Amino acid sequence: MRVIAWLVVLLGATFAAAPFAQANQADPPWGWSESQVREIVNRVRAGRDLNPPSWPGGARVAVLLSFDVDNETLWLRNGDTSVSGLSQGEYGSRVALGRILRLLDRHRIPASFFGPAVSFSIAPGMIEAIQASGRHEIGIHGWIHERNAELERADEARLLRMAIDRMTELTGKAPVGYRAPSWNFSENTLELLLEMGFLYDSSLMADDRPYELLASGSPTGLVELPVDWILDDAPLMNPLGDRYSNPRDVLQVYRDEFDVAYREGTMFLLTMHPHLIGHRSRIVVLEALIEHIRARKEVWFGTHEAAVRWVKQQAGMN
Ligand SMILES: [Zn+2]
């Protein structure tokens, strides 16, 4: 099914790409010309590697912890208003976020929090809690966790603008970072991020290291902090998911990812969700991971924003 869905996405993308694709709308992918394939893959592609020679303080590896504060929006975005599902999301604001923040405070480390504007609007105490230490960043994660690739450009732009305005109002600061809901990045998303003046994106997966995004082959100046499903708690820690894994086994995956990042001198970026990682049997795993990382020297913990400002400065991008 996934392959079919992906082909539908690719075909849809081709249909939308004027002008040559219009003449080939009915072509199956095996009938595409090489120039068509190149045009498709080059729309948004990884440009130059921006991994710095060293991270702040001379560190050899950057550790960027991020929390996507989705809570109830994971159900709402599907039109699912089931009381049970919504209560599972509500755990994120009611219990899990506080537990995560206390853990970060104990270790005095910063993190980046991305959340749909609706999520923060229905539980406004979360903003104050995140801002209390002065260490954390809050970024954009859509309006209601909408799926960008299913939206018309005008709707995606309207929801993004609404999210920016609401989050600026709630946090008192214009956000600079974007993470697409479910990392669902439409053909228009890059252009919209540039139009709306974002500093960076953190939704794509072409590298372990920060890189510059290209739009149809041209450098955009927008920095990508790449993510990956391996480095995400959602597929492995959802108790109703078909890939559910023992949290202690997931810890081993995270440790191995960090250890190789350390050896290679790059970046370790982890995406988590309060309503998943914030449960008791998982928060101990996150703490064990932090302790494993902190046992190494030359490690820098930073927000995504601080990391991007550093790599831009090191690369002479201004
Ligand atoms: Zn999300």
Query: What does the alpha-carbon distance between residue 270 and residue 273 come to, in Å, rounded to a whole number?
Result: 10
The DSSP output letter for 55 is: B
Q: How far is the CA of 271 from the centre of ligand 1 (A)?
A: 9
Q: How far is the CA of 115 from the centre of ligand 1 (A)?
A: 7
Segments of the chain with pLDDT less than 50: 1-23
Q: How far is the CA of 160 from the centre of ligand 1 (A)?
A: 14
- The total domain count for the chain is 2
**Closest to 144 (Cα-Cα) out of 80, 192, 200:** 80
Query: What does the alpha-carbon distance between residue 237 and residue 43 come to, in Å, rounded to a whole number?
Result: 33
What is the per-residue pLDDT for 54? 98
Residue at token pair 């960043």: 137
Q: How far is the CA of 113 from the centre of ligand 1 (A)?
A: 11
What is the per-residue pLDDT for 24? 54
Domain shared by 126 and 72, yes or no: yes
What is the per-residue pLDDT for 266? 98
What is the per-residue pLDDT for 33? 94
Range of the domain at 101: 48-314
Domain shared by 23 and 76, yes or no: no
Query: What does the alpha-carbon distance between residue 186 and residue 88 come to, in Å, rounded to a whole number?
Result: 28
Q: Regarding beta strands 267-272 and 61-68, do their DSSP bridges make them parallel or antiparallel, or are they unpaired?
A: parallel
Q: How far is the CA of 79 from the centre of ligand 1 (A)?
A: 16
What is the per-residue pLDDT for 18? 37
Contact yes or no for 96/115 (Cβ under 8 A) = no
Domain shared by 14 and 56, yes or no: no
Domain shared by 20 and 55, yes or no: no
Which alpha helices (DSSP H) does the chain contain, by range? 2-16, 34-42, 73-76, 83-91, 97-107, 117-122, 125-131, 153-171, 189-195, 233-237, 247-264, 274-277, 280-294, 304-314
Query: What does the alpha-carbon distance between residue 53 and residue 37 come to, in Å, rounded to a whole number?
Result: 34
Domain shared by 74 and 177, yes or no: yes
Q: How far is the CA of 117 from the centre of ligand 1 (A)?
A: 11
Domain shared by 246 and 296, yes or no: yes
Query: What does the alpha-carbon distance between residue 98 and residue 95 come to, in Å, rounded to a whole number?
Result: 6
**Closest to 127 (Cα-Cα) out of 93, 100, 102, 99:** 93
Domain shared by 17 and 134, yes or no: no
What is the per-residue pLDDT for 8? 41
CATH of the domain at 190: 3.20.20.370
